[in-house]
A and B are shown apart, each in its own frame.
Chain A
Amino acid sequence: MVVMGVGQTEFGSHPDKSLPELFAQAFFEAFDSSNIELNEIEAIYLGNFVGEITDGSANLGGFVADEIGLSGVQAMRYESACCSSAVAFKEAYLAVKHGIYDCVLVGGVEKLKSAGTSIGTRALATALDGVYEVNTGLTFPGVFALVARLYSETYGISLEELRECMAHVSIKNHRFGAKNPKAQFYNKLGNLKVEDVLNSKMICSPLTLLDCCPMTDGASAVIVASEEFAKERIDEPIYVRGVGQSSAGSLFRQKREVVKALPRRKSSEMAYKMAGMSPKDIDVAFVHDCFTIAEIIALEAMGFFEYGEGARATAEGLTDLNGEIAVNVDGGLIGKGHPVGATGTAQIYSAVKLLRNELDFVKIDAENVMTDTLGGDFGTLVNVILSVHRR
């Protein structure tokens, strides 16, 4: 399977657009760069997390199809929290790979910013264990705050040192986000210092506001197709070389293993194996930095650093441009924004743009790029490897 055109709305605040209207903006950009006819799209795989809570709207497949002029086409909504559109992408991959469809639309849409912090925080908490976690008032910043302390204890890195290492994730991702015209923090927060992150408002100790990604409205869309279908229509197909997925139960059932993000190790190994690659073949990674600590444990589980070494590696600049692996050079979820159901295909958007040298604000010679999308407290994991090379 290959990726043809890709699209992404500006991330931020879109209170004036319905979910289908917002998705249409991303779709048009993807469609207009795919050189296909509308009626060649055979199915729609749509990621959305909490449309029923934020906008009182579920069953989005048909509404989205109709909005973009494709009423009648098979249209499905996928929900796997923050991993929704990444799961949709994997499902589309299965269908195209096995010849069921030649060309389909995958994407996602979410409006969490417009919902407000209180409703948004409760909506996000629906991705926790519905009876044994949510009742305690646990939130997603809370989950990763628990993980941060566990990381500190497990690897013998003092909380003070870990907080400084985590601050470097925020500094780096905001630096890239400030340059990305589609990012929520475009032209903002591009020059943070460690003290700024440490001293910003405490959300769930030890995580401050600048350790957290924002609430975001946004949409993303990608057109994917069989190689055969794409080769007559576009010059620069991006090859989907590896796809992996895994799952896990509640946070407390994962016990100390939670800092190792084992489902992510499993899904990334699936992706590497399918691609015939290893971590050292990957030039750039777009990983799920919903919180600063989340980027660190993602990089370890994906095999870029040994367990327990990701925090110091980050502080040493090894995840920056010219480091060992350039990470989240589009700003990541922290700098670009995190419209939950749209995040998976937004990472694919950045990966494809980067591989085509079309990200004007960051130039890297990249041949293989990996994405990493996490749903909930490690409940759903998807990793995708994209390449300019067929094999």
Chain B
Amino acid sequence: MFVDFFNELLNGRLIGLKCLDCGTVTCPPKSTCDNCRGRNLERVELSGYGRVVSYTVTYVAPMGYEKEVPYVVALVELDEGPWIVGRLDVDVEKAERENLIGRRVRVYGKEFQGEMFYPMEKRVVPMFEMV
């Protein structure tokens, strides 16, 4: 399921699961509905739009990510309801200077170098582009 999610993200599609019982969209996908725990789920494509709810500029990275610092990790609330984690595609100085919470973003996928513990050969990160 997660491999499909990231491969589709690289193809420009944000995939989630819509619950046929309660209508909730769960994204990224999970084996049960995030709201009612049901298993009656249908694969759907989300709009890819949302807004920033929190973010942090990371200066000290884990092993395997050091070359990427500083980078901005963000939590985004998608228009369909789910929250996802990714990276905000923004100048670090701007992220420190301005309050970017509430800004509209569009999600796309970007491939980064793999690392020893990650369970996919390629490491795909949801990127948030400000719109």
Contacts from A to B (Cβ < 8 Å): 117-119, 121-122, 124-126, 129-139, 141-142, 145-147, 149-150, 153, 159, 201-207, 251-253, 255-256
Given A135-B125, A137-B73, A150-B54, the answer on whether A117 and B85 have CB atoms closer than 8 Å is no
B58 interface residue (CB < 8 Å to A): yes
Query: Which residue in B30, B59, B101, B126 is a CB contact (below 8 Å) of A149?
Result: B101
* Residue interface mask B15-45, A partner, CB < 8 A = 1: 0000000000000101000100000000000
Q: Is B64 interfacial (CB 8 A cutoff)?
A: yes
Q: Would B62 and A139 count as touching, CB distance under 8 A? A: yes
CB distance from A377 to the nearest CB of B (A): 10
Chain A residues closer than 8 Å to B84, beta-carbon distance? 132, 252
Interface residues of B (CB under 8 A from A): 2, 28, 30, 34, 53-66, 68, 71, 73, 75, 77, 82-87, 95-96, 99, 101, 112, 117-120, 123-126
Between-chain CB contacts (< 8 Å), 15 pairs: A118-B66, A121-B60, A122-B63, A126-B117, A130-B119, A131-B119, A132-B28, A134-B118, A136-B73, A146-B55, A150-B75, A204-B56, A204-B58, A205-B57, A252-B75
A126 contacts which chain B residues (CB < 8 A)?
117
A9–B64 Cα gap in the complex (Å)?
32
CB distance from A297 to the nearest CB of B (A): 14
B75 in contact with A121 (CB, 8 Å): no
Q: Does more than half of chain A's interface fall in helix, strand or loop, or is it mixed?
A: helix
Across the interface, A122 reaches (CB within 8 A) one of B2, B62, B112, namely B62
The 8 closest A-B pairs by CB, nearest first: A145-B56, A122-B62, A122-B63, A121-B62, A118-B63, A149-B54, A137-B65, A146-B54
Residue on A nearest B59 in the bound complex, by CB: A202
Q: Which of B28, B64, B73 has most A Cβ within 10 Å? A: B73
**Hey, which chain B residues are within 8 Å of A201, CB to CB?**
59
Question: How many Å lie between the Cα of A149 and that of B59 in the bound state?
Answer: 17
Q: Which of B61, B75, B95, B99 contacts A137 (CB 8 A)?
A: B61
Min CB–CB distance A316 → chain B (angstroms)? 26
For the complex, what is the distance from the CA of A130 to the CA of B115, rounded to whole Å? 12
Question: B126 contacts which of A136, A146, A150 (Cβ < 8 Å)?
Answer: A136
Residues of B contacting A206 in the complex (Cβ-Cβ under 8 angstroms): 56
CB contacts (< 8 Å) of A149 on chain B: these are: 54-56, 101
A153 to B77 CA separation, bound complex (whole angstroms): 14
Q: Which residues of A sit under 8 angstroms from B123, Cβ to Cβ? A: 135
Give the residues in chain B near A133, CB-CB below 8 Å: 85
Q: How far is the CB of B50 from chain A (nearest CB, A)?
A: 12
- With beta carbons under 8 angstroms apart, the residue of B56, B61, B119, B125 that contacts A146 is B56
A319-B84 Cα distance, complex, nearest whole Å: 34
Specify which chain B residues have a CB less than 8 angstroms from the CB of A122 in the assembled complex: 62-65, 117
Which residue of A has the minimal Cβ distance to B3?
A131
Q: Which of B2, B34, B53, B99 contacts A132 (CB 8 A)?
A: B2
- Answer whether A252 and B85 are a contact pair too, CB < 8 Å, given A131-B2, A137-B68, A150-B53: yes
- Asked if A252 contacts B73 (CB within 8 A), the reply is no
Give the residue name and chain of the B residue nearest to A138 (CB). B73
Closest chain A residue to B124, Cβ basis: A135
A159 to B100: give the CA distance in the assembly, Å: 13
When distances are taken between beta carbons in the complex, the residues of chain A under 8 Å from B75 are: 146, 150, 251-252
Closest to A133 in B: B85
| Alpha-carbon separation in the docked complex, A146 to B65 (Å) | 19
Q: B118's contact among A135, A139, A146, by CB below 8 Å, is which? A: A135
